[in-house]
């Protein structure tokens, strides 16, 4: 997995806390917080889309400190309106 500078800092801190790597779908289903720190690429454009939002806990918080292109804005609006996800920062 390729990480940005911020991603490497977050990954290092998480590793020290005992956080383990899991597949993306598992991460979405089990996480209370999903924090996007990756660089924007053609491969991860709209990474957070309708399918991803449907897999998240309804109580989960999505925090995007990366680029806006990682989140499909129309799918985000729909997820917030229908309650698939509750918080976006």
Residue 57: its pLDDT value, please?
A: 93
Q: What are phi and psi of 35, to 5 degrees?
A: -115, 120
Handedness of CA 83, 25, 21, 30 (dihedral sign): positive
Q: How does residue 82 score in pLDDT terms, banded at 50, 70 and 90?
A: confident
Residue 1 has pLDDT above 90, yes or no: no
Residue 19: its pLDDT value, please?
A: 85
Give the least confident one: 22-26, 42-46, 54-58, 82-86: 82-86
Residues 6+ apart with CB under 8 A from 35: 10, 63, 64, 65
The answer to whether 54 and 20 are in contact (CB under 8 A) is no
Enumerate domains of the chain plus CATH numbers. 23-88 (3.40.50.720)
Q: What is the DSSP string of 15-26?
A: HHTT-----HHH
d(CA 76, CA 80): 6
Look up the pTM and report it: 0.77
């Amino acid at each position: 997995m390729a990480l940005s500078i911020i991603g490497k800092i977050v990954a290092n801190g998480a590793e020290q806390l005992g956080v383990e790597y899991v597949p993306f779908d598992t991460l979405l289903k089990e996480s209370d917080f999903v924090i996007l720190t990756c660089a924007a690429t053609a491969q991860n454009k709209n990474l957070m889309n309708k399918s991803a939002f449907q897999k998240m806990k309804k109580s989960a918080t999505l925090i995007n400190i990366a680029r806006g292109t990682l989140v499909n804005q129309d799918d985000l609006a729909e997820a917030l309106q229908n309650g698939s996800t509750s918080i976006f920062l």
